[in-house]
Structure 1
Amino acid sequence: MKHVFTISLLATGLAAGLSAVSAANAGTIPAALAKARDLAPLPHGWLVLDKNALRLVDAAGRERASLPVRGRQLDVRTDSAGNTLALVIDANAERAVPVRADARAGTLAALPALPAAGYGIEAACLYRDAQQLTHAFLVGKDGQAEQWLLDGDAPARVRRLALPPHVKACRADDAAGTLYAAEEGLGLWAYRADAEGAPARQPVALAPPFGKLADGAHALAVVPGGVAAADGKGGLHAWRRTGAAWRAVPVNAKGVENVAVDADGRLLAHVGKGWKAVPLALTAAAPEAPLPVVLPRTQTEPVARAGDAADDPAIWLHPRDPAASRVLGTNKKQGLLVYDLQGRQTQLLEAGRLNNVDVRQDVSFGAERFDLALATQRDENSMVLFTIAADGTVAEAARLPTELEEIYGACVFRPAGGGLDAFVNDKDGRYLHYRIGRAAGKFTAQVVRRFRTASQPEGCVADEASGQLFVGEEKRGLWVTDADATREPRLTMVLPVGGVLKADVEGVGIYRAAGDGAGRGYVVVSSQGNDSYVVLDAAPPYKVRGAFRIGVNVTAGIDGASETDGLEVTSANLGGPFARGMLVVQDGYKRMPDGPQNFKLVAWDDIARALGLD
């Protein structure tokens, strides 16, 4: 029997999504709720957690249903249709139990408990991400914690994470993507709730001598525009959130044992023998419009090294069987990896610390023709050239030294007269334009042009249809110049950092369908600063067509992508979902489960639909 957890909850949580909840609760707190340890508003009622049961009561306080449980840590999410998912800790079993609640029908239905964590669960809370997927955080007394995805046929552990010891409560601000942890004795912390991307932690308020939160935080609630917490002495505190900063705001209540919010987002405090509303001058900021999300169709096997290892992909197209094409990927702690389109590794070439890789096929050197991949080798400051056989087998062919001191990024270009040009850069901004040739059966390299960016570059791509070279400067933006070695390399800014493009600027690729010519096509850029991908026209005036994120494919069990370094894109018909081409991106954080980095494969058709492209 499948454990169906798909709820399709569309609200943004109690802090920002309570407009979907009926106003029947507004202004009144039924007397029957007085003894509740914890409570949460529902459409047409309340969920109440007391000593021995989770109870569903209507707006007048009449009990409609109950589940016997010695529970704690009630949290809920409700959608615009009134569907509610609750989470409560079964204190006897030390398991987190999801519960479906329907106040209109008067029903409570416990779903299977989440798998045993292997430690006592001290706190638990729900989180709704930007993709509208529902997650649960489970926190142990010693700081062990896990994040679980509740959508799908069964819950899936997204990641393990470390939180402070002695966390008494947690809550998530869905709109801000923030997980709050109330640490007994020390204070209130804010963590990044999204599993994708670099972990982040900031103190909101601390106990003396670092702050004024007496004996740390013991209970908390996300309210519109900020967060509120009760300290260990019964004092109540609130903070207004502005970006990544929190500022204390006045709030007057003493003897507070717990806090919650009502249907209108009002702060409720449990004081003495009951619950009361506490005036709080906070308003929610208008949320930013979310970027569209596309899902990966498949992913590669993880690389064989932990940490920041995978970096840049390239695509080789099989000359006769597109489904037999290959994805090449660098492991900058080991070498070059080769994958099939199902993500299975077919080769590992231990060539050392390779950073960027690019591929060109049918490269002519007089009567000789090769499919070639070129990668930068960071230990030797060299270019490593690989040949690719007709069956997709990759072999190292040459190591070509460079003048650079910290070689970094690279891309290649086939000039009209034959041969191969390579653009390689240094962390200091220098670009060297090399002409790769053949002499006496060996590959050679000669510098034919030099230019530079003002600060560190990395990704670049040469568009052979237009003769343009697009160059990413990590902190400043995307530039364009002429790829022709005979022309002056004047850099022109195409898309500066600061708007849709967020630093660091990393991987760059060209999508150009066969026969489109130089007047059409798209540039795809990794906007690492906000874990997104920007698409713009490949021809002046380089109009931005939109940006998107790569999210979780729940059905396939594939996590999203974040902190992408390199990417590559092709318009070739690779069959199946990739009939209009494919985008391959490096994923900086492998989740579901945690593991070494890998590469995600995305259908271009999905991107085109999300952004309304031709």
Structure 2
Amino acid sequence: MHRFILICLGLFCGLVSSLVAAASLPDAARKADEIARLPDGGWLLAGKKGLSLLDAGGNPQASLAVRGKHLETRAQAQGALAVLLDSDSQQTLLLDVQGGKLTERGRIPSPAWSVESLCLFRDVQQLDHLYLLGKDGRAQQWLLSGGPARLLRELALPPQADSCSADDARQILYVAEQGAALWAYAAGGEGVPARSVIAAPKPLGKLQAGAGAVTVLPGGLALLEAGGERLHLLTRTAQGWRIQHSRRVPASEAMALIDGQLWLREEAAGWRAQNLPLPGARRAVANLPVIAPLVQTDPVQRFGDAADDPAIWIHPGDPKLSRVLGTNKKQGLLSYDLQGRETQLLEAGRLNNVDVRQQVRFGAQQLDLAVATQRDELALALFQIDANGQVRDAGRIATGLENIYGVCLYQPTEGGLEAFVNDKDGRIAHYRIDFDGERFSGRKLRELRVATQPEGCVVDDRAARLFVGEEDRGIWAVSARADSKDAPQLVMSVGRELVADVEGLAIYHGASASYLIASSQGNDSYVVVDAAPPYRYRGGFRVGINAQAGIDGVSDTDGLEVSARNFGGAFSEGMLVLQDGYKRLPDAAQNFKYVPWRDIARSLDLK
């Protein structure tokens, strides 16, 4: 079995620390199974006889009687975090290394399978994660920051995964499938699971014996082939990964990056420095600001692609008693309170998008209504909301569309209610909703069209402006008034900031400015632009982990909604509600997350 050791200091750890001069191994370290250099110049040595801590001069400071392997470290503000697998119990030890002491922080329990390798990862929020890999392809990702270690997710990796290494700067997890390929995975834990091949054996690639051990370098990767007798240095170019340098080496069992120099543990001679031109450090990847959710809802009651779109109903007397409505496109309409607890479920079938308008005037009568698209009935599904937030089914309006999809509402100043409902073929039907005191009906006013599939849409009632998201192309704006002859205007194209699919859209009406928020599903982010011409781009952000509250991040978002109302506390400036495509911490069915608007405004310097 071939293992690797990644020693991370300074930029490798995401923290700035002083690098000591090129390392000279203490005598005790030369024959150690695994070694790690610490930010203060000290050493950790692991092996069958235990874990030892040495100072910079090689003098013993502390020890731990554990038959351990797979030693990994990350620098901390004070000292270092170290992890080590107890070979006997299969538990992973979490250790704080500081002031010449080894302090056990906790243990990760043994999974129901044999751990073959592990690696640490630090995300863009500077939260520490631990990956545990099993030989049969099973794996776990644990969140180590913000309290006791918690299981973030379970995942499937190659069946012969023998070593791993995480690139904190690029947010990539590299996994070596013994004797086969070297794979790259998104390390953060959110989003659509995907992988790519970095290197493969012949005839698919240039490796002779397949992947063995892998270590992240400042500007690339070091890879030992299976058997440990050939070393490759890989760099990434615009055309993909390439082998920059290869050489035969004495049979080796482990690698370590120490003070910018690569070391191999040779079977016969122990640790030996490699005189190699390592790839130069790459430019850091620019990251969008990350904002944490404050509340999450109960998961929906169906697994898979189920939760889709939220809407907000505001209580007329006490905004703290407001409700968030959400669609489950395998079941119906859900209602949640502001603490995220499910308060109601209406088994209304395959609902996709939903929107809400309140105090809608139909003659002398005022009603609060939610309208959703019902995909089996190809109809608008209407729901009435009483003063306490209770929702009841109020009927259907047939549309004649063949593949009904998204919907948004428009409340004209002169009263009544209108709906824009779209079809996957690009049609957008504009309906007037009428009410005779007992039944709702609809009449078609006009039809608009985009070239390809739309879904998300929102109407700015104040400006009588409709925004439509064409998933693969961008966001369009056009007058919401049925008698308008204005041509649609492209507000924002899919590109660098807005990445297809374009999904949910919402309008935030602040005291001095209004903003359009869009779900940029392709890169798990959200863009903010002015809601009025010239539609200036104000920035983007992501929604990450709230470690203290035990709430995972948000990714692959379909629908979203926002309100500027004062809901109290952290939501005094309003809140953004997001559908989460991948519920983690732990794995569960999809749900919705609530994000304070004040945190978004501060991050993007909004009014």
TM range (shorter): over 0.9
CA distance in 1, matches of 2:15, 2:128: 19
CA distance in 2, matches of 1:360, 1:12: 54
Q: Match of 1:311?
A: 308
Aligned partners of 1:497 and 1:503 also within 8 Å: yes
Aligned partners of 1:461 and 1:469 also within 8 Å: yes
Mapping 1:308-457, distance limit 5 Å: 308-439=305-436, 441-457=438-454
Which deviations, in whole Å up to 9, do the C-alpha atoms of 1:251-299 show, x marking residues without a partner? Answer: 3241242443434433222233132124134122211222111111111
CA change 1:48–1:20 in 2 (3 A) is farther
Q: Quote how far apart the aligned CAs of 1:532 are.
A: 1.1
CA change 1:67–1:14 in 2 (3 A) is farther
SS state at 1:251 partner: strand
SS state at 1:371 partner: strand
Aligned partners of 2:15 and 2:75 also within 8 Å: no
Q: Which amino acid aligns with 1:41?
A: R
SS state at 1:320 partner: coil
The answer on 1:581 being equivalent to 2:578 is no
Which deviations, in whole Å up to 9, do the C-alpha atoms of 1:150-187 show, x marking residues without a partner? Answer: 11221110000111223221111111111111222223
Which deviations, in whole Å up to 9, do the C-alpha atoms of 1:480-526 show, x marking residues without a partner? Answer: 11111110241111111112211111111111036x5xxx2111111
Considering only aligned residues, what root-mean-square deviation do their CA atoms show, in Å? 2.0
SS state at 1:33 partner: helix
Which of 586, 595, 606 is the matching residue for 2:588?
595
Which of 189, 200, 222 is the matching residue for 2:194?
200
Q: Match of 1:37?
A: 33
Which of 212, 224, 232 is the matching residue for 2:226?
232
Q: Match of 2:539?
A: 546
CA change 1:214–1:100 in 2 (3 A) is farther
Aligned partners of 1:363 and 1:418 also within 8 Å: yes
Q: Which amino acid aligns with 1:109?
A: T
Between 483-492 and 234-243, report the one with greater CA deviation: 234-243
The answer on 1:569 being equivalent to 2:562 is yes
Aligned partners of 1:534 and 1:546 also within 8 Å: yes
Q: Match of 2:95?
A: 99
Return the TM-score normalized by structure 2: 0.94
CA distance in 2, matches of 1:581, 1:173: 36
Which of 242, 247, 257 is the matching residue for 1:262?
257
Which deviations, in whole Å up to 9, do the C-alpha atoms of 1:100-136 show, x marking residues without a partner? Answer: 223xx32222322112212221111100011110000
Aligned partners of 1:15 and 1:174 also within 8 Å: no
Aligned partners of 2:506 and 2:518 also within 8 Å: yes
Q: Which amino acid aligns with 1:257?
A: S
Aligned partners of 1:12 and 1:174 also within 8 Å: no
SS state at 1:606 partner: helix
Q: Match of 1:302?
A: 299
Q: Match of 1:527?
A: 520
CA distance in 2, matches of 1:245, 1:479: 35
CA change 1:340–1:442 in 2 (3 A) is same
Aligned partners of 2:81 and 2:96 also within 8 Å: yes
CA distance in 2, matches of 1:12, 1:372: 56
Q: Quote how far apart the aligned CAs of 1:605 are.
A: 1.4
Between 289-298 and 84-93, report the one with greater CA deviation: 289-298
Which deviations, in whole Å up to 9, do the C-alpha atoms of 1:23-67 show, x marking residues without a partner? Answer: 324253444422122222212122222331222233443333322
SS state at 1:20 partner: coil
CA change 1:61–1:214 in 2 (3 A) is farther
Q: Match of 1:610?
A: 603
Aligned partners of 2:14 and 2:122 also within 8 Å: no
CA change 1:126–1:68 in 2 (3 A) is same
Aligned partners of 1:197 and 1:531 also within 8 Å: yes
Aligned partners of 1:252 and 1:278 also within 8 Å: no
Q: Which amino acid aligns with 1:151?
A: S
Aligned partners of 2:174 and 2:185 also within 8 Å: yes
Mapping 1:30-179, distance limit 5 Å: 30-43=26-39, 44-79=41-76, 81=77, 83-102=79-98, 105-179=99-173
Q: Match of 2:22?
A: 26
Aligned partners of 1:569 and 1:584 also within 8 Å: yes
Which deviations, in whole Å up to 9, do the C-alpha atoms of 1:225-255 show, x marking residues without a partner? Answer: 2211212222112221247932111132412
Which deviations, in whole Å up to 9, do the C-alpha atoms of 1:349-405 show, x marking residues without a partner? Answer: 111111100000011111221111110111121111111111111111121111211
Q: Match of 2:3?
A: none
Mapping 1:436-515, distance limit 5 Å: 436-439=433-436, 441-513=438-510
CA distance in 2, matches of 1:150, 1:286: 28
Aligned partners of 2:8 and 2:73 also within 8 Å: no
SS state at 2:35 partner: strand
CA distance in 1, matches of 2:573, 2:175: 45
Q: Which amino acid aligns with 1:239?
A: L
Q: Which amino acid aligns with 1:599?
A: F
- In the alignment, structure 1 segments of 5+ residues that lack a partner are 1-10
Return the TM-score normalized by structure 1: 0.93
- In the alignment, structure 2 segments of 5+ residues that lack a partner are 1-6
Aligned partners of 2:14 and 2:168 also within 8 Å: no
Aligned partners of 2:322 and 2:337 also within 8 Å: yes
CA change 1:467–1:498 in 2 (3 A) is same
Q: Which amino acid aligns with 2:97?
A: A
CA distance in 1, matches of 2:185, 2:441: 51
Between 63-72 and 393-402, report the one with greater CA deviation: 63-72
Aligned partners of 1:258 and 1:269 also within 8 Å: yes
Between 17-26 and 291-300, report the one with greater CA deviation: 17-26
Which deviations, in whole Å up to 9, do the C-alpha atoms of 1:399-427 show, x marking residues without a partner? Answer: 11112111111100011222111011111
SS state at 1:176 partner: coil
The answer on 1:537 being equivalent to 2:547 is no
CA distance in 2, matches of 1:586, 1:303: 11
Q: Which amino acid aligns with 1:131?
A: Q
